[in-house]
Amino acid sequence: MQVDKSVNKNFDHIKQLLVNIPEKPGVYRYYDDSGNILYVGKARNLKRRVSSYFSHYNDLSPKIRILVRKICDVKYIVVENEIDALLLENNLIKQYQPKYNSMLKDDKSYPSLCITAEPYPRLLYTRDRTSIKGSFFGPYPNQKILRELQNIIRKLFCYRTCKLNLTPESIRQGKYKACINSQIGLCNAPCVANESQEEYLQTMNMIRNILKGDFKEILDDLKKKMMDYAEVLEFEKAELVKQKIILLEQYQSRSMVVNTGIRDVDVYSIVSDDRYAYINIMRIKNGGIIHSYSTEVKKQLDESDAEILSMVIPELHARVSSTAKEIIVPFEVDIPTDYLFQTIPTRGDKKQLLELSFRNLKYYRHERDHQRMLVEPEGLKLQLLEKIQTELQLPELPRHIESFDNSNIQGAYPVAAMVHFADGKPCPSEYRLFNIKTVEGPDDYASMEEVVYRRYKRLKEENKPLPQLIIVDGGKGQMESVRKVIEEQLNLSIPIAGLVKDDRHRTAELLYGFPPITIGIAPRSALFHLLEHIQSEVHRFAITFHRSKRSKGTIKTSLTEIKGIGEKTARDLLLKFHSVKQIKTASFDDLAKCIGAAKAKIIIEYFHGDDD
């Protein structure tokens, strides 16, 4: 073993425990010195799995090393097979909520439907699964679909919505009276024995089947009733049943996406970043999507997507009351085949379902990122910086990013600007403007070399911190200009990236490396918007400075050549009359109101001295 007392002070005790752990399937628990459960895990071979935490300590990720250092005691439960281990692990995680276990986000914010466990059950809309006993269906993130489903069930079946404590005994005793719902046809009044308990339970079972997505049995039963009414010439009743059949078939047809040969399957997809994993489950029944649900997991250790799915699938399987024995997954997951059969599709209808699940997940992730930005903007900014570090494989987190841009008109009034972003936010106090001093004519590459050299030569001489990333507003040529200065002239090591615009002057792609390669970033992602913000900010800063300098140059070359007219007077005239042409045509009185009679006389004599 590579672990000793310098890493874990309880090493001797743990070493003795490892000797006695059997090579059987089961669940293990790690405890800290206060007796709190740190982590719960399952294993096909308990001895091999638990020992690996200690025998390969140096190969573990930093987060798992922290866990190992805190372990004070190890306990385990031996079970018969992998399925029992899987289900027991799931129950223990829900019961103890261990600190280092990744767990599904609590879905209290999402409503569910519940068929209560009463002698005469009710169908309830609820967000709380703990205070009600019964069978739950959902959760339903889309409340519009849930309300539509409730309305359809209400039109199809008669059932009670009252809170009466109905039992066969209380009904026999005649404690209740029929309410208005029975008079308008929404309830068959079991409270006054107008409907037997057996008939009522049969209705609730049909509702249960609809919530599970089993339409066939209900449709067959309704069609039989319709034909029975027609045979005895009760056409009005037959028409009412027909309307119910049409309603149910319309609802069912809207969810048909694949062939009906796919009877009962669950589809799982997952995407993740350094902090969160996002999972989608789609329930498929008789070729139709009957339920889709997305949720998130906050990562505690460095779990892979496969490890997270193996933990999440049993929980979601129970949460959505799934009856499926087959799952469609993007890759192999550590789930016993006796529990759920896995399919990893490469083409066909099942592949399309997996892609549809991924599309749902992409929108859910975008929504969660947006919500997190509103609630915890600092955390999201840090997450975006971690994303940049990962995508560009930077040696350290780019907490300080500087970006450069040039601006000139055919070489006239050449300027450059630099913006500074700290922790993903603009830091205006660190913005810098540069007048190009050594470059003549429209040479963007030489201008970029000059300002970058001036910026980082000064930081180097003053021993000030350097940014962790330089972003150039330009392509490969601009990046190479910056690289020559940073590496060859200043002997510095700062990563350099380039942002390229499309023909509509919009941020199009991120370049990195030498030779530069394109780094793919989703156009609607939060990371793309951050890079777009950096590019637009440096361009805005540069162009504003250029316009200011250009306007000052215009004042200097046109009006300030007049003896007795300074820059302030020229600026006042331009603010009033907007152009030199308007000043030329202005009357003496108008000029005098703006700059006084003496200077107005100078302007008139300069422009009209030779006139009569």
pLDDT at 411: 45
Do 499 and 461 lie in a common domain? yes
pLDDT at 402: 94
Instruction: Give the type of residue at 28.
Output: Y
Say how far apart CA 480 and CA 449 lie, in whole Å: 9
| Residue where a domain stops, chosen among 214, 248, 277 | 214
Say how far apart CA 461 and CA 497 lie, in whole Å: 24
CATH number at residue 53: 3.40.1440.10
Do 537 and 585 lie in a common domain? no
Tokens 């930081």 correspond to what residue?
A: 459
DSSP strand E in 225-272: where?
Answer: 264-272
Do 367 and 398 lie in a common domain? no
247 domain-assigned: no
pLDDT at 419: 92
Say how far apart CA 412 and CA 553 lie, in whole Å: 10
Instruction: Give the type of residue at 229.
Output: Y
Do 92 and 109 lie in a common domain? no
Instruction: Give the type of residue at 484.
Output: K
Kindly state the DSSP code that residue 489 receives in the 8-state scheme. Answer: I
Those residues of the chain that have pLDDT short of 50 are 1, 256, 410-411, 555, 612
222 domain-assigned: no
388 domain-assigned: no
236 domain-assigned: no
Q: How many CB atoms neighbour CB 29 within 10 A?
A: 18
Give residue 546's domain range: 393-550
CB 326 within 8 A of CB 353: no
Query: Following DSSP, what letter does each residue of 177-231 receive, concatenated?
Result: ---HHHHTTS---GGGTSS-HHHHHHHHHHHHHHHHT--HHHHHHHHHHHHHHHH
Do 369 and 422 lie in a common domain? no
239 domain-assigned: no
304's tokens: 């892979």
Q: Do strands 326-328 and 341-343 pair parallel, antiparallel, or not at all (unpaired)? A: parallel
Do 268 and 352 lie in a common domain? yes
Q: How many CB atoms neighbour CB 32 within 10 A?
A: 16
Say how far apart CA 25 and CA 49 lie, in whole Å: 10
Exposure string for 184-212, b = 16+ CB within 10 A, e = fewer: eebbbbbbeeebeeeebeebbebbbebbb
| Residue where a domain stops, chosen among 96, 122, 156 | 96
Do 543 and 572 lie in a common domain? no
Say how far apart CA 322 and CA 314 lie, in whole Å: 10
Q: Which of 52, 49, 42, 44 is nearest to 3 (CA)?
A: 52
234 domain-assigned: no
CATH number at residue 578: 1.10.150.20
Question: Which own/partner pairs from 158-163 qualify as long-range (CB within 8 Å, at least 24 positions apart)?
Answer: 158/185, 158/186, 158/187, 158/188, 158/203, 159/122, 159/123, 159/187, 159/200, 159/203, 159/204, 159/207, 160/120, 160/122, 160/187, 160/190, 160/191, 161/122, 161/123, 161/186, 161/187, 162/187, 162/191
**Mutual angle of helices 62-70 and 46-55, in 10-degree steps:** 110
259 domain-assigned: no
CATH number at residue 404: 3.30.420.340
User: How many helices (DSSP H) and strands (DSSP E) are in the chain?
Assistant: 20, 19
Q: Do strands 507-512 and 517-519 pair parallel, antiparallel, or not at all (unpaired)? A: antiparallel
Query: Following DSSP, what letter does each residue of 32-96 receive, concatenated?
Result: -TTS-EEEEEEESSHHHHHHHHHHTGGGS-HHHHHHHHH--EEEEEE-SSHHHHHHHHHHHHHHH
pLDDT at 570: 79
Q: Which of 346, 347, 327 is nearest to 337 (CA)?
A: 327
Do 132 and 153 lie in a common domain? yes
Do 402 and 523 lie in a common domain? yes
381 domain-assigned: no
Q: Which of 156, 223, 166 is nearest to 186 (CA)?
A: 156
CATH number at residue 312: 3.30.420
Domain count, the chain: 5
CB 472 within 8 A of CB 479: yes
Query: What is the pTM (predicted TM-score) of this model?
Result: 0.52
Q: Which of 586, 609, 595, 588 is nearest to 564 (CA)?
A: 595
CB 308 within 8 A of CB 277: yes
| Residue where a domain stops, chosen among 339, 374, 409 | 374
Do 404 and 542 lie in a common domain? yes
Residues 6+ apart with CB under 8 A from 322: 266, 283, 316
219's tokens: 């449709």
Do 294 and 202 lie in a common domain? no
Do 526 and 413 lie in a common domain? yes
